[in-house]
Amino acid sequence: KAGVTQTPRYLIKTRGQQVTLSCSPISGHRSVSWYQQTPGQGLQFLFEYFSETQRNKGNFPGRFSGRQFSNSRSEMNVSTLELGDSALYLCASSLQSWDDTQYFGPGTRLTVL
Contact call for residue 48 and another protein (CB under 8 A):
yes
Q: Tell which one of 22, 30, 60, 104 touches another protein (CB under 8 A).
A: 104
Helices (H) and strands (E) in the chain, counts: 0, 11
Based on CB atoms, which residue is closest to another protein, 13 or 55? 55
Contact call for residue 60 and another protein (CB under 8 A):
no
Whether omega for the bond prior to residue 8 falls within 30 degrees of 0, making it cis, is yes
Q: Tell which one of 5, 65, 79, 102 touches another protein (CB under 8 A).
A: 102
Contact call for residue 85 and another protein (CB under 8 A):
no
Contact call for residue 45 and another protein (CB under 8 A):
yes
